[in-house]
């Protein structure tokens, strides 16, 4: 007689499951307990409209993220280990909420040869947050005039302004810190306001086209379904390629120095001979004449937390503001 082999689980997987179960404690609570408990941080950031042209959240909600009581007048309270194990409530339209005890500070870097490449990459970087289309039920390939994703974002406008009078390449460096994650269900409850606006729409035609445009202006082109909450630092550098070449530097050398400089500025590595050899690049000076050349222009964007705008030296440890900002991400996370 033979017996089917039992399912196999690796020890690392079991340890991970144990860690998640022990770190996340949720329970059903009464209405009075639910009413007095705060929401989990960032509870209302899912279900929000998102404009993939400007890469900005719209502040208008397609999904109901206010309702937390079930029909039997109970809710789910979860212990948040990042805030002293305080019990916090979960909206009914939020599932798979998870806190993460440790924030990894990985930096991703990307080169872009043109403004369009930069715009596309910037849109794709945000795509994990806005992957779901705002489906208006239009037929026969009808379009209401949505532009290319990222084409009107702050970063793209910065890049377009630079390329008007010179030749540039672009280098983006992105640091992400994730403290929480959750998603919305496959069939979420729509917000009352969005449902009313949808019900007021006429069938699509040339005369009703303005209605659809107003709806997109209000709610965006997509809605946010999968949420990773924490903070993000994005530094985009415009490299004036002719000026860099005149200084005896290739684009790759400049990008390597920028990567090294960001690590030093954030306190992730110490000043080393390689940093010293990059000093004129990081000081934005001509490497031959030592004159100010300004062949680098930076656009820095900080998302999440508070108290820091991204000011940073690239040739010395300048991490005090950064570390202070990181400490504010737990109570004030964002996408």
pLDDT digits (tens, 9 = 90+) for 324-334: 999 999 888 88
3-state secondary structure of 123: helix
Question: Is 135:194 a contact under the CB 8 Å cutoff?
Answer: no
Look-up: residue for tokens 């870097």?
109
pLDDT-based confidence at residue 308 (cuts at 50, 70, 90):
very high
Note the pLDDT tens digit of each residue in 115-142.
777 777 776 665 554 444 444 444 444 4
Q: What's the rounded mean pLDDT across residues 183-193? A: 91
Question: Which segments of 52-141 are extended strands (E)?
Answer: 56-61, 75-80, 86-90, 95-99, 107-112, 132-133
pTM: 0.73
- Is the pLDDT at 218 greater than 70? The verdict is yes
- Is the pLDDT at 12 greater than 80? The verdict is no
Q: What's the rounded mean pLDDT across residues 65-85? A: 95
Q: What's the rounded mean pLDDT across residues 13-41? A: 76
Give 11-46 as a DSSP string.
HHHHHHHHHHHHH--EEEE-HHHHHHSPBPTTTTST
């Amino acid at each position: 007689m033979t017996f089917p082999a039992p399912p196999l689980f690796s020890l690392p997987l079991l340890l991970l499951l144990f860690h998640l179960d022990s770190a996340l404690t949720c329970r059903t609570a009464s209405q009075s307990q639910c009413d007095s408990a705060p929401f989990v941080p960032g509870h209302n950031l899912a279900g929000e409209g998102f404009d993939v042209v400007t890469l900005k959240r719209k502040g208008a909600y397609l999904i109901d993220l206010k309702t937390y009581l079930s029909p039997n007048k109970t809710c789910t309270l979860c212990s948040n280990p990042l805030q002293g194990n305080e019990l916090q409530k979960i909206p009914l339209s939020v599932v798979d909420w998870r806190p993460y005890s440790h924030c990894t500070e990985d930096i991703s870097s990307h080169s872009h040869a043109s403004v369009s490449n930069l715009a596309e990459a910037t849109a794709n970087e945000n795509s994990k947050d806005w992957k779901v289309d705002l489906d208006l039920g239009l037929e026969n390939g009808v379009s209401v005039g949505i532009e290319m994703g990222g084409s009107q974002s702050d970063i793209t406008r910065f890049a377009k302004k630079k390329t008007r009078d010179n030749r540039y390449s672009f280098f983006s460096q992105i640091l992400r810190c994730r403290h929480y994650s959750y998603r919305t269900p496959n069939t979420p409850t729509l917000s009352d306001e969005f449902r009313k606006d949808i019900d007021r729409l006429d069938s699509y035609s040339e005369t009703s086209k303005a209605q659809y445009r107003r709806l997109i202006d209000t709610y965006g082109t997509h809605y946010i379904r999968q949420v990773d909450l924490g903070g993000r630092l994005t530094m985009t550098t415009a490299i004036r390629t002719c000026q860099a070449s005149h200084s005896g530097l290739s684009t790759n050398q400049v990008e390597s120095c920028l990567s090294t400089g960001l690590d030093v500025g954030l306190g992730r590595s110490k000043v080393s001979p390689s940093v010293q050899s990059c000093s004129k690049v990081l000081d934005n000076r001509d490497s031959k004449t030592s004159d100010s050349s300004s062949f680098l222009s930076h656009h820095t964007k900080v998302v999440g937390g508070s108290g820091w705008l991204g000011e940073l030296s690239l040739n010395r440890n300048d991490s005090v503001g950064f570390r202070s900002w990181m400490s504010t991400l737990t109570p004030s996370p964002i996408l």
